[in-house]
Amino acid sequence: NAGVTQTPKFQVLKTGQSMTLQCAQDMNHEYMSWYRQDPGMGLRLIHYSVGAGITDQGEVPNGYNVSRSTTEDFPLRLLSAAPSQTSVYFCASSRELLYGYTFGSGTRLTVV
């Protein structure tokens, strides 16, 4: 049981490049979310999904896309990277609405 797996752990991008942050969970959780964590800002919700085929925007969705074709996978796409997207990104999943979330170990992204 691996929990929530995020790849890569570290990434450096040039401004304007695109990339996909991968997130997979093996717990058959319906709820999945992407957060970014910046110093002094706490965790901010980017996008979330309440099941396969269903996604919605969070607090800071601009510049990011998501899709949920399977229960297990919830990739986050950066369309055209900007320095303001330099952050640590966490993927999380939960079995039910009011259960605690299981977080991945994070992806540290630097955009230069």
Partner 1 sequence: EDQVTQSPEALRLQEGESSSLNCSYTVSGLRGLFWYRQDPGKGPEFLFTLYSAGEEKEKERLKATLTKKESFLHITAPKPEDSATYLCAVQGSGGSYIPTFGRGTSLIVHP
Q: Pick between residue 82 and residue 103 the one whose CB is nearest to partner 1.
A: 103
Does residue 8 have a cis peptide bond before it, meaning omega lies within 30 degrees of 0?
Answer: yes
Supply 102's token pair: 């299981």
With contacts defined by CB under 8 A, name the span among 10-18, 62-70, 79-87, 94-102 that binds partner 1.
94-102
Contacts with partner 1: how many residues (CB under 8 A)?
26
CB of 104 to partner 1, least distance (A): 5
Helix, strand, coil in percent for the chain, rounding step 5: 5, 55, 45
- Strand-pair partners of 11: 109
Which positions touch partner 1 (CB under 8 A)? 4, 31, 33, 35, 40-45, 48, 50, 56, 58, 90, 92, 97-106
